[in-house]
């Protein structure tokens, strides 16, 4: 039976039967026992499915991955030990030394550094593009060795809404997939696969967990990118079309399998500019039984390679205990997102009319540059994170934060508790003012992550601190 997102938040992934625990058990075990040597050998020959070592698979982790996969509408999901590991693996899975990719410059500071500095040391180069540029300027960033395009649905902390359908079309014209970090929107508010994205990543540390208990990440594969031809195939003929999004933006999706219905049609690729050259997926992997991922796993080629190659060689799995905590968060994700968005909208409206506030960036405000895009991609609400600048000096902004009472200064966002951060003096300290501007961050930007407390209490705390 097809289930709505709210139901999947509760029931997705773990399906207990007779006498099994109602709540997902924590399989806190590195290894799994077999009775005969032959049983074990069959697992290693890929002739049988079964658990043998938690770096590759664990029942608790798998159940949570299946829930997130169902929420996004993918063909498979892998959990990682952090959002950073998810971003790295998502790109590294299809890029090697000598390759190139294109990324929005309006992204999380950690990702900006990973892509621009650390991956460069591995011989993988990227070009940062401003998502506000026109199509021609963005096309110009692609090269023959470009392997993917990356962006964030709602950027952290810039608050830029990524025009997923437009950037999917551009990526597909160059024969490469679009990877979208959907951390801030969560699948409750946006499902990028419906707009043509091919791969979705998450920092599950944020809203998915929502209680600041674990650091984690996720990668979900739509199964819609054909690695052999470098084209995007929107839907599977063997699957029934899903009902279109309406009203709240909530829609039906069937668990485990169905890729989301996609609005855009596939486009011809541009001659000679990237495209179709994903030999890491279409040629035999000598380190993995000489298997060719696309031949052996079809639509699950990309996601299977992450487990069987990257997890095997690099690790970065979450602990089953952390997956259990993440799952508790997911059970209320739909309720929390709604309250985060309602509260943030009220706080944003209050800040906008406050004479002490110099500027504000929240895509739910009609005056916002990204309002139209937010209405298109996030009709049911965006997220709880607001960026604003106070009139006055940088020191006054710091004093404002120090005077807050229950609103806390924390290097964290997207949590039940309201918190603030000054990226220029905290998370992005290592960036110069020029790099800050390149990453779309004003030096006076205050990032306010609106929680799920009483909204009048939140506003009262902000007001007394500003006074
Ligand atoms: C926090 C964050 C990350 C990194 O995630 P960690 O879990 O902290 O490693 C990546 N992308 C976005 C949008 C984030 O907010």
367-426 pLDDT tens trace:
999 999 999 999 999 999 999 999 987 788 889 999 999 999 988 899 999 999 988 888
pLDDT reported for residue 189: 98
Q: Is the CB of 152 under 6 A from ligand 1?
A: yes
Task: Tell me how far CA of residue 140 lies from CA of 127, 144, 246, in angstroms.
Answer: 10, 11, 36
Q: Which of ligand 1's atoms lies nearest the C-alpha of 204?
A: 7
pLDDT reported for residue 412: 84
Determine the distance separating the centroid of ligand 1 and the alpha carbon of 109, expressed in angstroms: 9
Instruction: For 147-199, give the DSSP string.
Output: EEEEEESB-TTT-PBP-HHHHHHHHHHTT--EEEE-TTTHHHH--GGGGT-SE
Residue with tokens 């049983």: 39
pLDDT reported for residue 445: 86
Residues 174, 273: contact at Cβ < 8 Å? yes
Determine the distance separating the centroid of ligand 1 and the alpha carbon of 183, expressed in angstroms: 7
Q: Is the CB of 103 under 6 A from ligand 1?
A: no
Q: Is the CB of 215 under 6 A from ligand 1?
A: yes
Distance from C-alpha of 7 to C-alpha of 331, rounded to nearest angstrom: 9
pLDDT reported for residue 235: 59
Q: Is the CB of 206 under 6 A from ligand 1?
A: yes
Determine the distance separating the centroid of ligand 1 and the alpha carbon of 203, expressed in angstroms: 5
Q: pLDDT digits over 236-258, tens only?
A: 444 433 333 233 222 223 344 44
Q: Nearest residue CA, atom 6 of ligand 1?
A: 83
Task: Tell me how far CA of residue 393 lies from CA of 157, 390, 400, 411, 440, in angstroms.
Answer: 20, 8, 11, 22, 20
Query: Which of 80, 156, 208, 212 gets mutated to test ligand 1 (max ligand atoms within 8 A of its CB)?
Result: 156
Q: Is the CB of 379 under 6 A from ligand 1?
A: no
Sorted by sequence, the CB contacts under 8 Å of residue 410 that are 6+ apart come out as: 212, 417, 419, 420, 421
Determine the distance separating the centroid of ligand 1 and the alpha carbon of 204, expressed in angstroms: 8
Q: Is the CB of 181 under 6 A from ligand 1?
A: yes
Residue with tokens 């540029």: 133
Residues of the chain below pLDDT 50: 236-261, 264-269, 271-275
Determine the distance separating the centroid of ligand 1 and the alpha carbon of 217, expressed in angstroms: 8
Q: Nearest residue CA, atom 1 of ligand 1?
A: 203
pLDDT reported for residue 352: 97
Query: Which of 106, 111, 179 gets mutated to test ligand 1 (max ligand atoms within 8 A of its CB)?
Result: 111
Length of the chain, in residues: 467
pLDDT reported for residue 190: 98
pLDDT reported for residue 260: 45
Closest by CA to 153, choosing from 143, 165, 141, 162, is 162
Query: Which of 206, 214, 218 gets mutated to test ligand 1 (max ligand atoms within 8 A of its CB)?
Result: 206
Q: Which of ligand 1's atoms lies nearest the C-alpha of 205?
A: 7
Alpha helices per DSSP H over 239-315: 279-282, 293-297, 301-305, 312-314
Q: Is the CB of 82 under 6 A from ligand 1?
A: yes
Distance from C-alpha of 56 to C-alpha of 220, rounded to nearest angstrom: 16
Q: Is the CB of 217 under 6 A from ligand 1?
A: yes
Q: Which of ligand 1's atoms lies nearest the C-alpha of 111?
A: 10
Determine the distance separating the centroid of ligand 1 and the alpha carbon of 285, expressed in angstroms: 31
Distance from C-alpha of 205 to C-alpha of 284, rounded to nearest angstrom: 35
Cis peptide before 238 (omega within 30 of 0): no
Q: Nearest residue CA, atom 7 of ligand 1?
A: 83
Q: Is the CB of 156 under 6 A from ligand 1?
A: yes
Q: Nearest residue CA, atom 15 of ligand 1?
A: 156
pLDDT reported for residue 286: 92
pLDDT reported for residue 271: 47
Determine the distance separating the centroid of ligand 1 and the alpha carbon of 83, expressed in angstroms: 5
Domains and CATH numbers, the chain: 5-328 (3.40.640.10), 334-466 (3.90.1150.10)
DSSP conformation class of 269: P
Distance from C-alpha of 445 to C-alpha of 359, rounded to nearest angstrom: 9
Sorted by sequence, the CB contacts under 8 Å of residue 20 that are 6+ apart come out as: none
Q: Nearest residue CA, atom 8 of ligand 1?
A: 83
Q: Is the CB of 293 under 6 A from ligand 1?
A: no
Closest by CA to 51, choosing from 29, 23, 78, 21, is 29
Q: Is the CB of 201 under 6 A from ligand 1?
A: no
Q: Which of ligand 1's atoms lies nearest the C-alpha of 107?
A: 13
Beta bridge partners of 361: 387
């Amino acid at each position: 039976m097809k289930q709505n997102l709210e139901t999947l938040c509760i029931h997705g992934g773990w399906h207990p039967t007779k006498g099994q625990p109602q709540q997902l058990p924590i399989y806190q075990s590195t290894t799994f026992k077999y009775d005969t040597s032959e049983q074990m050998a069959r697992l290693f020959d890929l002739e049988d499915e079964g658990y043998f070592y938690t770096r590759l698979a664990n029942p608790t982790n798998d159940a949570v991955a299946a829930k997130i996969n169902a929420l996004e509408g993918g063909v498979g999901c892998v959990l990682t030990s952090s959002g950073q590991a998810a971003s790295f693996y998502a790109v590294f899975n299809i890029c090697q030394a000598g390759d190139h990719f294109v990324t929005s410059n309006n992204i999380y500071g950690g990702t900006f550094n990973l892509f621009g500095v650390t991956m460069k040391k591995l011989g993988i180069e990227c070009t940062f593009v401003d998502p506000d540029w026109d199509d021609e300027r963005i096309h110009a960033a692609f090269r023959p060795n470009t392997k993917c395009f990356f962006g964030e649905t709602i950027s952290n902390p810039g608050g830029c809404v990524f025009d997923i359908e437009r950037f999917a079309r551009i990526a597909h014209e160059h024969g490469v997939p679009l990877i979208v970090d959907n951390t801030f929107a969560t699948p409750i508010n946006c499902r990028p696969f419906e707009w043509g994205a091919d791969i979705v990543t998450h920092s599950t540390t944020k809203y998915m967990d929502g209680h600041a208990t674990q650091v984690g990440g996720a990668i979900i594969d739509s199964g819609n990118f054909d690695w052999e031809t470098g084209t995007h195939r929107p839907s599977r003929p063997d699957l029934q079309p899903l009902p279109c999004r309406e009203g709240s933006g909530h829609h039906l999706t069937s668990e485990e399998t169905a890729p989301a219905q996609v609005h855009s049609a596939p486009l011809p690729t541009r001659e000679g500019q990237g495209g179709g050259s994903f030999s890491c997926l279409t040629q035999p992997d000598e380190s993995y039984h000489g298997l060719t991922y696309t031949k052996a796993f079809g639509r699950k080629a990309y996601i299977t390679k992450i487990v069987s190659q990257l997890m095997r060689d690099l690790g970065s799995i979450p602990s089953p205990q952390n997956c259990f905590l993440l799952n508790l968060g997911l059970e209320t994700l739909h309720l929390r997102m709604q309250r985060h968005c309602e509260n943030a909208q009220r706080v944003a409206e209050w800040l906008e009319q406050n004479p002490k506030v110099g500027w504000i960036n929240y895509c739910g405000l009609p005056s916002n540059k990204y309002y139209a895009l937010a209405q298109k991609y996030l009709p049911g609400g965006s997220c709880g994170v607001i960026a604003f600048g106070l009139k006055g000096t940088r020191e006054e902004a710091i004093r404002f934060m120090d005077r807050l009472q229950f609103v806390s200064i924390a290097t964290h966002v997207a949590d039940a508790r309201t918190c603030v951060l000054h990226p220029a003096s905290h998370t992005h300290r290592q960036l110069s003012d020029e790099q800050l501007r390149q990453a779309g961050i004003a030096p006076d930007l205050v990032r306010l992550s609106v929680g799920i407390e009483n909204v009048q209490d939140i506003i009262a705390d902000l007001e007394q601190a500003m006074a």
